[in-house]
Amino acid sequence: MCGIVGYTGWREAQVVLLNNLARLEYRGYDSCGLALRGSPLTIVKDAVRVAELAKTITPVKSTSGIGHTRWATHGPPCKINAHPHLDCTGSIAVVHNGVITNYEKLRKQLTEEGHKFISETDTEVISHLVEKYLKGNLEEAVNSALKVLEGSYAIIVIADNDPALVFARKDSPMILGIGEKEYFIASDVPALLEYTNRVIYLEDGDAGVVTPQGIKITHAGQPVTREENKIHWTADQAQKGGYEHYMLKEIHEQPSILRETISEYLSSQSSSDISSFYGNNKSVLMLACGTSYHAAMIGKYVTEKLLNTSVRLEMASEFNYLSRTPYFPLTIGITQSGETADTLKALRRAKEAHSMVMAITNVVGSTASRSSNYVLYTRAGPEISVAATKSFTAQLGALYWLALSQSSLSIPEILLHEFRHLPSKVQEVLDMEEVIKLSANKLAGYENVFFIGRGINYPVALEGALKLKEISYIHSEAYAAGEIKHGPFALLSNKTPVIAIVMRDNCHDAMLTTIKEIRARGSPVFAIVEDTDTAIVDMADYLIPVPSIMDIFSPFITSVVMQLLAYFTAKKRGCPIDFPRNLAKSVTVE
């Protein structure tokens, strides 16, 4: 849940590290800090955003350093708990992402041996362990420390008298970037793109050193080589591209993402990679969290409709606590980041129960992708905004394609035609932005909002409520429309607007009945309707028209309405849209 960076080369390290850290703030932004090599080390850290920290630093002549942006897990956000963490002498500094599960025991032992701790973090045990084992060679000292650490970590260690940056990863992401006589370390690709697109994805258990002269990677003590990859995202793609927020930019990228994704999936190469996944199996388990779980709900609906296959869907965080692991021959884990701790744990559990696992993920080289038997990549590009938007749409694309491509019958042309035309349908919704903004401006004045949908649009209602609450801080709840009279009705009044998704599918008449009942209780109704549907015109207070679409594909467009509604409502309320309070992009701890 934190971002780490390292640099060694010929540039001013503090400039590089601050630039790279700013691009990792989506991983955590409650505090940040730097350690720059020199004698002594220069340490700058505080419970502020990277831009504020940058203003406080006086230039230091150093071409090597490490940095961190934090999302608190052990101890509240404050200067003392911010990374880097130092040993007793102040000559060794560590940045860490992950959780050291045996830190209390280690801290006690080290304290008894005379080490003095100043922070509440788990990380501080690492710098003291390195100090304890240091006998002249920093790499050897770090390796000795790793032997006693339990839990997850991506760490970088620097010392005032050693030319190396020493790194290691276990169950937390870490990549190396390669430049001309310079090397970078980071939690994720967007951090490096301004300087290089040559990247090495480290394997779990890898460790090593970088110096301006080169990289050494080891695994279980033995030197290993890891393949270099070229990243095709440009630095510009990872920036806001002229939009006020990453979220709006990412919402607007959806037509082009769908276009690329669909054309890739329709190419024979991609389908042959996954063609053997289902085989003769007729049941599959799906696991995911948050927005990815909502995508999976839609995926279940589509899979059961298009294939003769039953789907059991579980929230990964709940699956991990089932008293008995159910056996399914196939498991699909849906995770944008590929690093969500609950989903990874659930996938491990399914694998241990001898299930064949597929990851649907957006991040090449992520832990989910590397620990699964099959991978179906979504091609959403880097998603910086904490609120997932384009990654959700890309997940839908993948789940629909998986269902379509596994059918033993040839895909009906009418389905393929609609699938190919999804990008232009989504674009039509984006072109309605101003109409959606009008409804959002009204919604911004309420403190409680209900969302309702039925059938395939019930998960879209759930996603709409999640989006609205996470970025606008309005209390919002979603119900399957038929359930709202079984309790939630008690809360209806003119202070509780209801957002209803009313597509012309088999739920249409039932939705109209529910809307009449809601209006009789005085709640303002905002209805998302097909633009040719006149049946609802007099029943809703606010209409948001969307293009007509084949029933099964409607979530692609109704969910975009949800995203824009949430975005403009949050904007009207002046919320920090890309970095909502208390949330982080990638939830890498349980």
Can you give the binding site for ligand AGP, defined by CB under 6 A? Answer: 289-292, 335-337, 340, 343, 386-388, 470, 586-587
Q: How far is the CB of 462 from ligand AGP (least distance, A)?
A: 11
Asked if 149 and 59 touch (Cβ cutoff 8 Å), the reply is no
Q: How far is the CB of 19 from ligand AGP (least distance, A)?
A: 24
Q: How far is the CB of 99 from ligand AGP (least distance, A)?
A: 17
The neighbour count for residue 212, using CB atoms within 10 Å, is 13
Q: How far is the CB of 233 from ligand AGP (least distance, A)?
A: 17
Q: In one letter, which amino acid is 437?
A: K
Nearer to ligand AGP, 314 or 530 (CB): 314
Nearer to ligand AGP, 162 or 250 (CB): 250
Q: How far is the CB of 229 from ligand AGP (least distance, A)?
A: 20
Q: How far is the CB of 558 from ligand AGP (least distance, A)?
A: 17
Residue 526, SS3 per DSSP = strand
Cα distance between residue 506 and residue 338, in whole Å: 35
What tokens were used for 535? 């049946």
Q: How far is the CB of 488 from ligand AGP (least distance, A)?
A: 22
Nearer to ligand AGP, 182 or 250 (CB): 250
Q: Which of 2, 32, 507, 575 is flagged as catalytic?
A: 2
Q: Is 585 a catalytic residue?
A: yes
Cα distance between residue 477 and residue 461, in whole Å: 9
Q: In one letter, which amino acid is 402?
A: L
Cα distance between residue 436 and residue 430, in whole Å: 9
Q: How far is the CB of 470 from ligand AGP (least distance, A)?
A: 6
Nearer to ligand AGP, 81 or 292 (CB): 292
The neighbour count for residue 233, using CB atoms within 10 Å, is 13
Residues 6 or more apart whose CB falls under 8 angstroms from that of 245 comprise 385, 567, 571, 577, 578
Half-sphere exposure of 433 (CA within 13 A, CB side): 10
**Residue of 2, 6, 136, 131 lying closest to 62 (CA atoms):** 6
CA angle 515, 426, 248 (to 5 degrees): 95
Nearer to ligand AGP, 48 or 341 (CB): 341
222 exposed, middle or buried (CB, 10 Å; 0-12, 13-18, 19+)? exposed
Q: How far is the CB of 211 from ligand AGP (least distance, A)?
A: 34
- Please give the full DSSP string across 196-207, using - where no structure is assigned: --EEEEPPTTEE
What tokens were used for 211? 């110096």
Nearer to ligand AGP, 14 or 586 (CB): 586
Q: Which of 170, 300, 467, 585 is flagged as catalytic?
A: 585
Which single residue brings its beta carbon nearest to ligand AGP?
290
- Please give the full DSSP string across 47-68, using - where no structure is assigned: SS-HHHHHHHPPP---SEEEEE
Half-sphere exposure of 186 (CA within 13 A, CB side): 29
Q: Which residues share a beta bridge with 465?
A: none
- Please give the full DSSP string across 163-197, using - where no structure is assigned: SPEEEEEEBS--EEEE-SS-EEEESSGGGTTTT--
C-alpha distance from residue 363 to each of 338, 458, 569 (Å): 6, 28, 30
Nearer to ligand AGP, 187 or 586 (CB): 586
Nearer to ligand AGP, 289 or 515 (CB): 289
Q: In one letter, which amino acid is 310?
A: S
Q: Is 2 a catalytic residue?
A: yes
Do the strands 475-480 and 183-186 form a parallel or antiparallel pair, or are they unpaired? unpaired
DSSP state of 80: T
Nearer to ligand AGP, 123 or 588 (CB): 588
Q: Indicate which residues carry an active-site annotation.
A: 2, 585
